[in-house]
Structure 1
Amino acid sequence: MSVNSIWNDLVGASVGYRGTEFKTRVIEAGEGEPLILMHGNGGHAEAYSRNIMRLSRHFHVIAIDLLWHGFSSGRPFTTEMVPTYAEQVVDLMDSIGADTAHLEGESLGGWVSMWTALHHPDRVGRIILNTTAGAVVEEGHVTPEQLAAGDSLRERSLAAIGDPTRETVRKRLEWLMAEPDRVTEELVTLRQFFYRRPETRDSLVNVMRNSFRSDSPHRITPQMLGRIRQPTLVLWSDHNPGTGPQFGRKLASLIPDAQYSCIADAGHWPQWEKPEEHDSLVTDFLRA
């Protein structure tokens, strides 16, 4: 009987560190064009554990811990989070000798992908916005659903980081899934490990307190979306909390060279919940 396991899924990948200015923890595999995978708020590289090896058949896949998450380090906390994450991505590319890379970001990672594409356009190939956070599709308007989802995630996140019991960590992870039983015991244990690590915990408290501001100066506005020139796949799900398929379609319509796909029966982590479908869509898009 096959067993779904992060360990089994990552057999053949390597775990290490890249970067010069930043010490970025990476899980990587494969050869060819670089594809950098970025997790969401409070996450870590293993958010893509079910995708790395399959995608590595075609690309040099690098899943990372964003700064102040996991084991990545390199700069004291700053409220200039999103621009700093973009600097981290460019530093990683420099360290592997890559002029350009494709970017996929889930939630916060999608926000970083958009910011990097806008502010370092010559370094970015194609981008995949996987249930991305950080964008508004109507000028100056964050929807009530977005605010409610952000409040719920912040509350669960701070509870899990402040007291990382199996119950609080599981509740935080269940927010990500269309069905709560998709949160494995192994995933709870791994996330609990990171939240109990003093350096990570202290950093994440600052991250969570500053990530859900409706007045963030780094929000991606409709005008900014219109300046994204990279071919873009807006990859959504039918049960994404706070921003459903209608939001995803509107987002795609504001990016000049974008296409839209929606994965059924998935929440905020379609790459985990429906990995084969996710990987097929991403591979077809990047190889088009």
Structure 2
Amino acid sequence: MNTVYKSEAGASELRWRYREALDAWPVPAEHIRVPTREGETFVVASGPQDAPPLLLLHGSGANATAWQGDVASWSRHFRTYAVDLIGEPGGSAPARPPLASDSHARWLDEVLDGLGIASAPVVAVSLGGWVALDYAIRRPRRVTRLSLLCPGGVGRQKMSVLVTTLLLRPFGRWGARRSVCAVVGLKAPEARPILDQVVLTFKHFRPRTERLPVFPDDALRGLRMPVQVTVGGRDAMFDSAATARRVRECVPDARVNVLPDAGHALFGQTDSVLAFLRD
């Protein structure tokens, strides 16, 4: 049995839901499988093949469908590559190499090489933001721009969310939905489809328990590419105030946006990110 899932039946259900979601991808897409040392990596490519590349990295407990609301806009200007992170509930291998190593950078090297990409801008969220930052720090020549949404590895990772989730677990589906609302900062009536999908995913999926390493100031100061960071003021996962402060101090030319009423899940950023990418 695949250890990132709680059961093979649950894994099958999530795979079926993922295929269904990919069938509803808003623009024509190509599905690419790239062999790497960590196993096969699944990528959804959209946009003109001769357009400049754009790499998309989703967050924990997600997959390429996290970008369905953005890809129609971005793929008019870029060849977008929505990469399923390894060890997450998508189409990539279940491998979870240690975060406190260069394993993810070496994995992304192979993904980019397999796609024929020498360098590209990267848009990433949460765990994907950590992976993108790690890669930009280790491989600065391969990242031309960096747009991060609620990235990990900068501000303190909060543990209160875990406590809330554990306290609500005995209350079944109601408790699961309440815990998701606490994490992403959304109310059920306004985002029922998203909430239902997240609840279903974590019913069957085992999330990572490894804390995200925090990047030291010197590493952040070494970022030379244009950087955009957007955080939610009510982020329950990371200390967004500290994220904004450290980025402003260590990357003086970075564009830092704090959305005071937003939580960890940020919506409506398509145009802002696109403007940064095309600047």
TM-score by length of 2: 0.77
Aligned pair in 2 of structure 1 residues 134, 95: CA closer, same or farther (>3 Å)? same
Q: Aligned AA for 1:259?
A: R
Per-residue CA deviations over 1:190-241 (Å, capped at 9, x if unaligned) read: 33454455xxx35x3xx2x2125xxxxx420111111111111112233223
Mapping of 1:29-178 within 5 angstroms? 29-31=46-48, 32-74=51-93, 76-80=95-99, 83-136=102-155, 146=156, 150-155=158-163, 166-178=173-185
Change (3 A) 1:183 1:154: farther
Instruction: Kindly indicate whether residue 250 of structure 2 is the aligned counterpart of residue 254 of structure 1.
Output: yes
Change (3 A) 1:280 1:226: same
- Percent identical among aligned pairs is 22
118-127 or 175-184, which deviates more: 175-184
Q: Which moved more, 1:187-196 or 1:52-61?
A: 187-196
Q: What secondary structure is seen at the aligned counterpart in 1 of 2:178?
A: helix
Maintained 8 Å contact 1:26/1:63: yes
Aligned residue type for 1:30 = G
Aligned to 2:45: 28
Listed as ranges, the gaps of 5+ residues in structure 1 are: 1-5, 137-145, 213-217
Partner deviation per Cα, 1:114-159 (whole Å, 9 max, x = no partner): 11011112211100121111125xxxxxxxxx35xx2133346678
Q: CA offsets per residue over residues 50-108 of structure 1, 9 Å max, x none?
A: 11212112112222321110134446433336733333332221121110121122111
Unaligned runs of 5+ in 2: 1-20
* Aligned residue number for residue 274 of structure 2: 283
TM-score, normalised via structure 1 length: 0.74
| Number of positions where the alignment pairs a residue of Structure 1 with one of Structure 2 | 254
Measure, in 2, the Cα distance between the counterparts of 1:81 and 1:43.
21
Report the equivalent of 2:216. Answer: 221
Contact 2:60 2:126 in 1 (8 A): yes
| 2:159 counterpart SS class | helix
| Separation in structure 2 between the aligned mates of residue 157 and residue 38 of structure 1, nearest angstrom | 25
- Residue 148 of structure 2 aligns to a residue whose secondary structure is strand
| Counterpart-to-counterpart distance in 2, 1:42 and 1:155 | 18
